Structure 1
């Protein structure tokens, strides 16, 4: 949608840069709310039908966006669309945790994570050319068609993976079973919906990892809000070619996915075999996270100062690729750590998604004022400094002390 923002502003006569950014980032605000509903629901009623319903919500609201009569209706429908599209954020990695063991789930998680990250990257490429040729409304129509195809395939082939729900459907009297015992139905609903907030506010591990991932995820969406000005105004790209500026991130995501899938599990298994008699634990995900975190500030420095110097347009695109490489590897490492650490994986991921989506919503709103005050080089240097301050020290501390911290929280899995 980002390349179509100028056309949307003209169509709806929007003059405020904040409102223009809101049409894009409001989707992320509801992304923060949706996992708080869909994650717990998947731990009560199962993963499959929650995914089906959420996808249908996205389908209906996407076609509504195409024919929205006003700015307010477009923003409202985008909000509901984000709510429907958020289910996969909390539930997708939980399905991986349902199916794969700790030693094997790294590759699967890497492949799963590339979708939510590369989608916002490839989308603007297609959206730029759709907007330039047949108009921005057709971007929403294409999304509707894709959702319809996904719903058709999903309803036919997607099967339930959450063990307590599968057992209850087989008549094993576990309709209200949880990993920590039996509880009444209404008590289970209350506990399920409050659990993500409890994890986010009372687990230092969940809070700090979510804070770091929220920072780099917010920077990711902040880049989206600045690409149009940089490549349209500074480098003179048209709406179609401007979409190609997102390919640097996409290529970085693909390379990061390959590295994460190939070497993430190898590092985990090597450390488990060498130091823990073959028995893994969540902290063995941290060395790969630390390695990944160094790429984030390097990419930001590269992107910001090459754009500041207005050298060849490929240089800032390469910088975004380095940033994307670090983002996807850190994203996968943190999600794997949360899935390995907490008994209720969907709730832990929902808590994580709250901070991610709020950052993705808020960061583009202050992009204009920040870069107007600091310019693009110093502004990205500030963001790089924050990523170093938050993204390096805590993972190192967690590697040495994570197991001791987890033992104090009743919602974490035991290592022994």
Structure 2
């Protein structure tokens, strides 16, 4: 054994195997990553694993996670390998989830923190068009939805870690650009770039949760991760209202730059790569013996040669394919997008409601967004536990076999709370009832929205092999509506009033949120069986 091989103490050593008996690595009829050969040192041979991983990039979540349920004849050392992210300690999984959630909290915070200061922005930049004024807030979401279309596939090619780091570092500079913008056009440009860089955590975060946790553990971690993109925009106006009122709206961007820098200071030294195929690829690279290292690259199957334009195109086009060719992905993403559009409609209309109707100051108006936040928090803690208990119950009834459709039932409850919250908020605002009434209505909507988002994201992660691409398609859809809804919200409520305007939105929520999830619950397995998009 070479001295180099013997010094690799951090790589687990396995018993030698006869070369005539290859060991299967992944039990999957659709995967080209079917076997791993070992040298006499027990290390994975790069001759076999590198081209296989590069060709297929099999997502880690397709690998079984419970060795007790795998037949000994097909069990792989990867299932019990300490470098397998699903075998990391609960402490390590926890802090990695917390770091990703921090990244995912800071970037959406940028989307709404300026909402209470829109009047000041209008005055400073002399913006006369209400649509342009709303766009200074919502243009963030335009690029926030576009970014994951290429960032998510890139994370499935090159890993999650540095996609997250680079996006967060760029956000620091774009926040400073917004703070110093001399004109409306410059402000819009940097807001657009902020959304692009800020989309990295949302593009990769759900896939990181899938990398770390198996199906039965995933709900609580996904709830923590999902809370970031939803609670961030709620806390943004609360902080932004007081900042804009005291020292000026432009200072919110200096605050954002500082928070983003702090997130990078924590994340860069602590975050580890979680994407299984890349971890295995690097493991194989470390284990290759010295004789093979002396061979020219051309004699080995260098995976970088596989990454031509065709390979890149297949990966970058995958989110579009999943979104528009899968009925399941499209309908669930459409419902998420509709709720997200209403959510951002609150940011451009709630401020006017409480300043004009109730006479509140900017700082106090920012506190009124807290109703949404309370709803999100209640749904996070109760919904995650409820989802886990119900999923385990359904798995047990199904003979221990879990199906993605078992994630759908909590969505039924969330779809009921959404229209209730909209009706409550709209008609209490229309009647000028006590200010707590529309706040309660917004909280009911937030509760239903969070209770709907969690099962949809869990379903997409479990049903589709390329989790990051499936989620990025959904993010594109919801960000587009989040961008569009504020552009017409003020006009709609001016013409219809808060009562009938929210009644219209509640009616659409019923049409999208009740029949389609029921259909997918009963027919989802058959639809997936007819499609090759989830394999």
Task: State the TM-score bracket (shorter-chain normalisation).
Answer: over 0.9
Distance in 1 (CA, whole Å) between partners of 2:516 and 2:323 is 16
Deviations 1:198-248, CA, capped at 9 Å, x for gaps: 011100000000111100110000111101110000000101101011000
Distance in 2 (CA, whole Å) between partners of 1:66 and 1:5 is 14
Query: Residue 59 of structure 1: CA displacement?
Result: 1.0
Which residue of the partner structure matches residue 134 of structure 1? 247
Distance in 2 (CA, whole Å) between partners of 1:357 and 1:279 is 34
Is 2:398 the partner of 1:285?
Answer: no
Distance in 2 (CA, whole Å) between partners of 1:361 and 1:68 is 21
Query: Residue 188 of structure 1: CA displacement?
Result: 2.7
Which residue of the partner structure matches residue 354 of structure 1? 476
Is 2:127 the partner of 1:4?
Answer: no
Query: Residue 185 of structure 1: CA displacement?
Result: 4.5
Which residue of the partner structure matches residue 219 of structure 1? 342
Cα pair 1:165 1:175 within 8 Å, conserved: no
Which residue of the partner structure matches residue 497 of structure 2? 375
Which residue of the partner structure matches residue 403 of structure 1? 525
Query: Residue 409 of structure 1: CA displacement?
Result: 1.9
- 1:36 counterpart (146, 149, 174): 149
Is 2:313 the partner of 1:190?
Answer: yes
Distance in 2 (CA, whole Å) between partners of 1:117 and 1:296 is 15
Which residue of the partner structure matches residue 70 of structure 1? 183
Query: Residue 186 of structure 1: CA displacement?
Result: 3.6
Normalising by structure 2, report the TM-score.
0.75
Cα pair 2:427 2:498 within 8 Å, conserved: yes
Query: Residue 166 of structure 1: CA displacement?
Result: 1.0
Query: Residue 169 of structure 1: CA displacement?
Result: 1.6
Query: Residue 184 of structure 1: CA displacement?
Result: 4.8
Is 2:359 the partner of 1:246?
Answer: no
Q: Which has the higher contact order (CA 8 A, sep 6+)?
A: 1
Distance in 2 (CA, whole Å) between partners of 1:185 and 1:254 is 45
Which residue of the partner structure matches residue 201 of structure 1? 324
Distance 1:240 1:184, change over 3 A: closer
Query: Residue 187 of structure 1: CA displacement?
Result: 3.1
Distance in 2 (CA, whole Å) between partners of 1:334 and 1:55 is 26
- 2:487 counterpart (356, 365, 390): 365
Cα pair 2:326 2:533 within 8 Å, conserved: no
Distance in 2 (CA, whole Å) between partners of 1:183 and 1:237 is 61
Distance in 1 (CA, whole Å) between partners of 2:230 and 2:486 is 17
Deviations 1:347-401, CA, capped at 9 Å, x for gaps: 0001000101000000000101111111110000000000000110010000110
Query: Residue 36 of structure 1: CA displacement?
Result: 0.6
Is 2:426 the partner of 1:304?
Answer: yes
Distance in 2 (CA, whole Å) between partners of 1:164 and 1:272 is 28
- 2:128 counterpart (15, 26, 48): 15
Deviations 1:309-366, CA, capped at 9 Å, x for gaps: 0000000000000000011111111000000000000000010001010000000001
- 1:96 counterpart (189, 205, 209): 209
Distance 1:134 1:331, change over 3 A: same
Query: Residue 410 of structure 1: CA displacement?
Result: 1.6
Query: Residue 58 of structure 1: CA displacement?
Result: 1.1
Select the structure of larger CA radius of gyration. Answer: 2
- 1:108 counterpart (221, 226, 232): 221
Cα pair 2:207 2:467 within 8 Å, conserved: yes
Query: Residue 282 of structure 1: CA displacement?
Result: 0.3
Distance in 2 (CA, whole Å) between partners of 1:175 and 1:280 is 37
Query: Residue 152 of structure 1: CA displacement?
Result: 1.3
Is 2:352 the partner of 1:229?
Answer: yes
Deviations 1:124-177, CA, capped at 9 Å, x for gaps: 000000011111111000100011011111110000000111111223599859
Cα pair 1:282 1:341 within 8 Å, conserved: yes
What's the C-alpha RMSD, in Å, of the aligned pairs?
Answer: 1.4
Normalising by structure 1, report the TM-score.
0.96
Distance in 1 (CA, whole Å) between partners of 2:349 and 2:123 is 18
Which residue of the partner structure matches residue 193 of structure 2? 80
Distance in 2 (CA, whole Å) between partners of 1:157 and 1:11 is 41
- Note the residue ranges of structure 1 that are not aligned, 5 or more in a row: none
Query: Residue 114 of structure 1: CA displacement?
Result: 0.6
Which residue of the partner structure matches residue 318 of structure 1? 440
Is 2:266 the partner of 1:153?
Answer: yes
Distance in 2 (CA, whole Å) between partners of 1:409 and 1:99 is 27
Distance 1:376 1:175, change over 3 A: farther
Distance in 2 (CA, whole Å) between partners of 1:184 and 1:38 is 16
Deviations 1:285-332, CA, capped at 9 Å, x for gaps: 111111111110000000000000000000000000000001111111
Distance in 2 (CA, whole Å) between partners of 1:258 and 1:222 is 25
Count of matched residue positions in the alignment of Structure 1 and Structure 2: 408
Query: Residue 123 of structure 1: CA displacement?
Result: 0.7
Cα pair 1:9 1:15 within 8 Å, conserved: yes
Cα pair 1:344 1:411 within 8 Å, conserved: no
